[in-house]
Amino acid sequence: MTLDIHLRHAFPDFRLDVDMVLPGGLTCLFGRSGSGKTSIVNAVAGLLRPDDARVVLDGMVLNDLPPHLRGVGYVFQDARLFPHMTVAENLTYAARIRRRKVEGQARVVELLGIGGLLSRRPGTLSGGEKQRVAIGRALLATPRLLLMDEPLAALDEARKAEILPYIEALRDETGLPILYVSHALPEVARLATTIAVIEAGRVAAIGPAAEILSDPVTAQHLGLRDAGAVLTAWIASHEEDGLTRLETAAGPLWLPHVAGAPGRAVRVRIAAQDVILSRVRPVGLSALNILPGTVVALHEGHGPGVLVRMSLGSEFLLARLTRRSAQALGLAPGVAVHAVLKSVAVAQADIGAASPVAR
């Protein structure tokens, strides 16, 4: 799958000027609110008619079509369920208006865990339930592309944690390309296979998620506090003391219990500010995780901080330290270092499913 998006549009207060080619998988449009992310997905859906647009999905030109002929599903931030219909009627809406048989309803209902809600009305559902039904409704319209505009933004942390696994399953099991708008980095780190950073109506950076997240230069765009790389790992074993041993390209990683059977692939986001660097392999340290690697790049910001990108085999890790520390350690590209990471520093919310093919 490829999705070409070329858009130009002059809003009263800012200009949208976007050129990008997206691969399959889940692409996150990441950026601050007001950066133009929603305008981009609205233009792809046909809800916004830009001054100049070219949107091509796998050779099919979408930009001349009205929204209802584009075959593009849309999950809105506010679920927008039809209040006068039951959950089941909402789910089958697309099939009913086309007078088609509903296909794959059982599978979608199971994937989203909404079997118990079918006869309910939207007014009686929780925010998380509404959003799952909205995802199901969009999927059952059998779209060629799914747009999701901050589908979790209106939900509290518990509801987010409830829905994230469903979106991961969508990404890994359906093969449906997804364009996902978000301004929450932890969410992006868990879900994205590709990241496009949107700033002031333009694409500031675009690339595979692991690269963008571990690139010290783009990390500036993502927000320093939230900067952090994503490692792909496999669950090796659950140990007696409650820790789970994960295998990464750089060696073993012990984290507080990670759900899943041994062999399951997971993505672990490691915040840059939780990583300590050492020139020699430390001994007599309480931290369990010590991963050897090599410094690839340093990026100095305006403040006293430095972002260091180090490679661990085929993966990258990002560490945030002070400029003073970096000088004291003599860090420079090519220098061998050890990354030290406290097990408990990784939050459960930063561990998600990974599709083996997404690597």
Q: In angstroms, rounded to a whole number, what is the distance separating the alpha carbons of residues 65 and 47?
A: 11
Smallest gap from Cβ 150 to other proteins, in A, equals: 14
Smallest gap from Cβ 311 to other proteins, in A, equals: 42
**Residue 217 dihedral angles phi and psi, to the nearest 5°:** -75, -50
Sites of contact with other proteins (CB under 8 A): 45-47, 66-74, 76, 78, 80-84, 93-94, 97-98, 121-124, 137-138, 141
Smallest gap from Cβ 7 to other proteins, in A, equals: 18
Smallest gap from Cβ 326 to other proteins, in A, equals: 49
Q: In angstroms, rounded to a whole number, what is the distance separating the alpha carbons of residues 325 and 305?
A: 9
Q: Which is nearer to other proteins, 138 or 319 (CB)?
A: 138
Smallest gap from Cβ 162 to other proteins, in A, equals: 21
Smallest gap from Cβ 11 to other proteins, in A, equals: 18
Q: Which is nearer to other proteins, 152 or 266 (CB)?
A: 152
Determine contact, residues 168/145, Cβ cutoff 8 Å: no
Q: 263: burial class by Cβ within 10 Å (0-12, 13-18, 19+)?
A: exposed
Q: Which is nearer to other proteins, 89 or 199 (CB)?
A: 89
Q: Which is nearer to other proteins, 68 or 279 (CB)?
A: 68
Q: Which residues contact 303 (CB under 8 A, 6 or more apart)?
A: none
Smallest gap from Cβ 146 to other proteins, in A, equals: 10
Which amino acid appears at position 210 of this protein? A
What is the bridge-based pairing of β-strands 145-149 and 72-75? Answer: parallel
Q: In angstroms, rounded to a whole number, what is the distance separating the alpha carbons of residues 49 and 46?
A: 6
The greatest distance separating any two alpha carbons of the chain, rounded to the nearest whole angstrom, comes to 71
What is the Cα 96 distance to its own chain's centre?
32
Q: Which is nearer to other proteins, 75 or 358 (CB)?
A: 75
Q: Which is nearer to other proteins, 68 or 281 (CB)?
A: 68
Q: Which is nearer to other proteins, 34 or 67 (CB)?
A: 67
Q: Which residues contact 184 (CB under 8 A, 6 or more apart)?
A: 152, 153
CA 162 → CA 36, 187, 226, 242, distances in Å?
Answer: 28, 13, 22, 23
